[in-house]
Amino acid sequence: MKLAPATEEVLDYEVAPNSEEVAVVSEEAPESELAPNSEEALDLEMAMDSVEVPLVVPDNVEMVADSVERDFVECLCPRCGTIHAGGIFGEECFQARRRAHMCARYGLLHEDCELPARFFHFMEKFDCEFYIPDVEKLQMRGNTILLPNDVVEKLEEIHNMKKLEDAKMKQDEKKEQ
C-alpha cells in the first residue's frame, strides 16, 4: 500500500505475513513524478493552445418568434392582475390576494375563519354578520376572535338543532330497513 503525503518522500508500508509489526520504508520520489519543470509545463500549455477545434455550423437554423416575452422579475400576475416584485405565483401574489379579499366590515379574511366555523360550529360558511354582530365590540386575542355570549348561545342552539336532525335521520333510516 502506497500513500503520497504532501512532502516529497513516499512512505511504503510493508506487512510481513504472520506478523503484527508494520515496517515503514522511506523512499525519495523522483522530481519528474511530483511536478513537471517549467519548460515541460510551457510545452504542455503551448500544445493545448495549438489544438484547433473545427467550427461546426448546423444545417438548419430555427428562428424564435418575436412574441416570446423575457422572464422579467416584475410582471403582471394573471391571478390577481397586479405587478409583483418577486415574479408570478410567489409570496407577493399571495399577500396581494389576501389584501384584496379582506372583509370591508371588520378587516379580516373570511377564508381564514371558514375552516374553524365548519369544524367547530358545523356552519357551511363563515358569516361575519352572524359571528360579529357589532364590529365596535370586536375582541381578539392574537388571531382568535373572542365571540360575545349571545353569539355563543346562538351557536349552541344551532348545534343542538343539528344533533336532533341527525338523530331523526338515523331513526328514519332504521325504520326503512
Q: Using one digit for the tens of pLDDT, what is the confidence trace for 135-148?
A: 888 888 888 889 89
Q: Is residue 112 part of a domain?
A: yes
Helix runs in 51-127, H state only: 91-100, 110-121
Q: Is residue 43 part of a domain?
A: no
Q: Is residue 113 part of a domain?
A: yes
Q: Using one digit for the tens of pLDDT, what is the confidence trace for 38-64?
A: 556 555 555 555 566 677 766 766 665
Q: Is residue 45 part of a domain?
A: no
Average pLDDT, the chain: 71
Residue 169's pLDDT band (cuts 50, 70, 90): very high
Span 89-103, mean pLDDT?
A: 74
pLDDT at 122: 81
Quick check: 7 pLDDT over 50?
no
β-pair partners for 27: 10
Quick check: 111 pLDDT over 70?
yes
Quick check: 164 pLDDT over 90?
yes
Q: Is residue 144 part of a domain?
A: yes
In whole angstroms, give the CA distance from residue 89 to residue 80: 10
Quick check: 73 pLDDT over 60?
no
| Cα 157–chain centre separation | 43
Q: Are 117 and 147 in contact (CB under 8 A)?
A: no
In whole angstroms, give the CA distance from residue 59 to residue 56: 9
pLDDT at 3: 39
Span 106-117, mean pLDDT?
A: 85
Tell me which of 154 and 74 has the higher pLDDT: 154
Instruction: Kindly state the cell numbers that stand for 31.
Output: 522530481
pLDDT at 65: 58
Q: Is residue 47 part of a domain?
A: no
Residue with cell 335521520: 169
DSSP state of 136: G
Q: Is residue 150 part of a domain?
A: yes
| Cα 37–chain centre separation | 52
Instruction: Kindly state the cell numbers that stand for 21.
Output: 509489526
How many structural domains is the chain composed of? 1
| H or E, element range at 49 | helix 38-50
Q: Is residue 78 part of a domain?
A: no
Q: Which domain holds residue 127?
A: 106-176
pLDDT at 35: 55
